[in-house]
Homo-oligomer: A and B are copies of this chain.
Amino acid sequence: MPTYSPPVRDMKFLLNEVLDISQYGHLPRFEEAPRDLADAILEEAAKFAEGVLQPINLSGDEEGCTRNDDGSVTTPSGFKDAFDQFVENGWPLMGAEEQYGGQNLPQVLGIAVSEMFSSANQSFAMYPGLTRGAVEAITAGGTPEQKAKYLPKMSSCEWGGTMNLTESHCGTDLGMLKSKAVPQADGSYKITGEKIFISSGEHDLTDNIIHMVLARIEGAPAGTKGISLFIVPKVMVNEDGSLGERNSMICSSIEHKMGIHGNSTCTLNFDEATGYLIGEENKGLRLMFVMMNAARLGTGMQGLCQAEAAYQNASAYAKDRIQGRSLTGPKNPDGPADPIIVHPDVRRMLLEQKAFAEGARAFLYWLSLHNTLEDVSDDEATKEKAGDYMALLTPVAKAYVTDGGYKSATNAQQVFGGHGYIEETGASQFVRDARIAMIYEGANGVQALDLVGRKLAMHGGRPLFSFIAELDAFIADNGGNAELDPFLDGLKGAREALNESTTWLMENGLTNFDNAGAGSHDFLQLLGLTCLSYMWAKMAKVALAQGDSDDPYYANKLHTGRFFLARMLPDIGSHLAKIKSGADPLMAMAEDGF
């Protein structure tokens, strides 16, 4: 049976030592999270993740969700009870605004908590995750009345929320969507259409579900300029906040998926369902992207989560499973064989997972810190830089971390040998659950195109130049320490490749956009590796400052970082070569040749 023990020590290291969030204690949100409170929250969240959510992860995968004949959906055994505890304990309110009953804590703390929940049970964590996205859209675009009506119950997760974008013929290209909205005399709309792949689209966890639905108002312009966003409650909400009649939409089926079986992925049919416009007519996509961008950081987190959970199980197995002997002589001479962790190639697989998870965790926490600073900082330059980083690096957080998460989970499964292919060990579930994060919330190829096609050139290239300047300053400020220098050298190499590839893209991508598209995947990977290289340099600096600490945590951190430098960072050169090979090798062949 798989296990999960939240890496609280590593989380505290990042929050308190690397990012040192106490330095922001004078700012809104951060002032609500003094260190002792933050530490206590982490400890409590760890107990909930390990004690309540993880035990129903494997069983939830096996059992899956069931659509009943009346269109209702039953979640796997234990989900409802766990969800009730989740709401009663107030976990959803951590990051919510005070006016809706929230604790107003900074996202960087919330992301640590959500990492634990999603590592323990990704399918479960998606229910509140989607609700959070809907809350953000209503916060960004709702009228005061809409906010008052929906946000208190949604912030606490007493009600659920969803995002309804995809139709069978369109996902990435929402300009083609067909769902229609017909204005009614009372100001509401009748919504008709079919939406597919709706995560958490129907379930038994909450009394109501507030669907955020993209549709086209009759007579609206074609394409993306004619799409509006609507609030479509599953159950109508009366003026006094009580629940009224059932709205005319139904879950017509749930998808048969590779993974995340515990989450109900639904086809929803809207049949003149009552909906309420949110935000401006025909400007629904912009509002939906508010929701999407926040969700993308959370999706990136899912890559880390499965990597971490899979790693923990693989490393435990590698220490326990005895098989064969060390190449350099028996390490367990009294036993019939050595534990497989003595084998260099088993360690290679484990360290790839560990170095990825710890590097990605640092990267996502660091980025989410900027997300909050963009809102609350009292310094304009800090706000601008934070906004730039969020724009530039959100696609990297989403795509690089989910690609790496899947690869990590696959490596973890490999450590288990034949036992990894059997569902009971949970190794397969980590891989199958991790797989979706590369696809949804904008497939990773779409993220890469967003990065090179929009984010690189934004504000005349300011975001990337600002990031490179930060790297240069870090390198300049920290040189001369023989133990830290290899980390700085690694970072310097990555920074140079980043610079060279950016220059190449600027020189060649504007004359032929396909040159930019052709290099987009490798550029995103290269930027992701550079971010992790920066994080490893920052972590190494803190670990080295501990000198000969009795706590082996610091020495292990450095070992892991050195593995990253030796065995993961060399991919930089290969990405650079591929980017510079341009569009021709991809575009020269006619379609018939495929």
Give the shortest distance, in Å, between A446 (CB) and chain B (any CB).
Answer: 9
- CB-based contact B319/A520 at 8 Å: no
User: Contact string, A541-580, partner B, CB cutoff 8 A, digits 1/0?
Assistant: 0000000000010011001101101110011011001100
- CB-based contact A348/B258 at 8 Å: no
Bound CA span A569–B423, Å? 36
- CB-based contact B327/A593 at 8 Å: no
- CB-based contact A589/B556 at 8 Å: yes
- CB-based contact B518/A344 at 8 Å: yes
**Restricting to A394-450, which residues have a CB under 8 Å from any CB of B?**
406, 410, 413-414, 417-418, 420-424, 428, 431-432, 435-436, 438-440, 443-445, 448-449
**Restricting to A336-364, which residues have a CB under 8 Å from any CB of B?**
336-337, 339, 341, 343-351, 354
- CB-based contact A336/B176 at 8 Å: yes
Nearest-neighbor residue (CB-CB) of A315 within chain B: B594
User: Contact string, A349-390, partner B, CB cutoff 8 A, digits 1/0?
Assistant: 111001000000000000000000000000000000000000
Bound CA span A583–B563, Å? 10
- CB-based contact A319/B591 at 8 Å: yes
- Identify A422's interface contact among B257, B341, B346, B589, CB under 8 A: B257
- Identify A439's interface contact among B417, B520, B556, CB under 8 A: B417
- CB-based contact B593/A172 at 8 Å: no
Give the shortest distance, in Å, between A178 (CB) and chain B (any CB).
Answer: 11
A172-B323, A341-B594, A594-B354 known; A421 and B435 CB under 8 Å?
A: yes
Give the shortest distance, in Å, between A560 (CB) and chain B (any CB).
Answer: 7
**How many copies, total?**
2
Instruction: Specify which chain B residues have a CB less than 8 angstroms from the CB of A445 in the assembled complex.
Output: 343, 345-346, 349, 414
Give the shortest distance, in Å, between A518 (CB) and chain B (any CB).
Answer: 4
Interface check A166, CB cutoff 8 A: yes
Give the shortest distance, in Å, between A194 (CB) and chain B (any CB).
Answer: 14
User: Contact string, A54-79, partner B, CB cutoff 8 A, digits 1/0?
Assistant: 00000000000000000000000000
Instruction: Specify which chain B residues have a CB less than 8 angstroms from the CB of A173 in the assembled complex.
Output: 322-324, 337
Instruction: Specify which chain B residues have a CB less than 8 angstroms from the CB of A560 in the assembled complex.
Output: 589, 593
Instruction: Specify which chain B residues have a CB less than 8 angstroms from the CB of A255 in the assembled complex.
Output: 421-422
- CB-based contact B585/A258 at 8 Å: no
Give the shortest distance, in Å, between A98 (CB) and chain B (any CB).
Answer: 37
Interface-facing stretch out of A3-11, A12-20, A509-517: A509-517
- Identify A258's interface contact among B428, B512, B588, B589, CB under 8 A: B428
- Identify A594's interface contact among B350, B417, B423, B431, CB under 8 A: B350
Nearest-neighbor residue (CB-CB) of A342 within chain B: B591
Give the shortest distance, in Å, between A563 (CB) and chain B (any CB).
Answer: 4
Interface check A227, CB cutoff 8 A: no
Instruction: Specify which chain B residues have a CB less than 8 angstroms from the CB of A339 in the assembled complex.
Output: 591
A323-B172, A324-B173 known; A348 and B418 CB under 8 Å?
A: no
Bound CA span A444–B424, Å? 22
- CB-based contact A327/B516 at 8 Å: yes
A173-B324, A574-B570, A585-B566 known; A345 and B448 CB under 8 Å?
A: yes
Instruction: Specify which chain B residues have a CB less than 8 angstroms from the CB of A315 in the assembled complex.
Output: 594
- CB-based contact B418/A440 at 8 Å: yes
- CB-based contact A513/B574 at 8 Å: no
User: Contact string, A164-207, partner B, CB cutoff 8 A, digits 1/0?
Assistant: 00100011110110000000000000000000110000000000
Bound CA span A311–B449, Å? 22
- CB-based contact B421/A439 at 8 Å: yes
A166-B418, A257-B422, A345-B445 known; A318 and B520 CB under 8 Å?
A: no
Bound CA span A173–B585, Å? 45
Bound CA span A420–B259, Å? 12
Bound CA span A330–B549, Å? 62
Interface check A469, CB cutoff 8 A: no
- Identify A438's interface contact among B258, B336, B354, B414, CB under 8 A: B414
| Residues of A participating in the B interface, judged by any CB pair closer than 8 Å | 166, 170-173, 175-176, 196-197, 255-259, 315, 318-319, 322-324, 327-328, 336-337, 339, 341, 343-351, 354, 406, 410, 413-414, 417-418, 420-424, 428, 431-432, 435-436, 438-440, 443-445, 448-449, 453, 512-514, 516-518, 520-521, 552, 555-556, 559-560, 562-563, 565-567, 570-571, 573-574, 577-578, 581, 583-594
Given A327-B514, A347-B587, A562-B584: 12 more A-B contacts, CB < 8 Å: A170-B323, A257-B421, A327-B516, A328-B514, A344-B514, A344-B518, A410-B435, A421-B440, A432-B432, A552-B590, A562-B585, A563-B586
A sample of 8 cross-chain residue pairs with beta-carbon separation below 8 angstroms, ordered by A number, consists of A172-B323, A173-B324, A257-B428, A258-B431, A343-B449, A344-B587, A556-B589, A563-B585
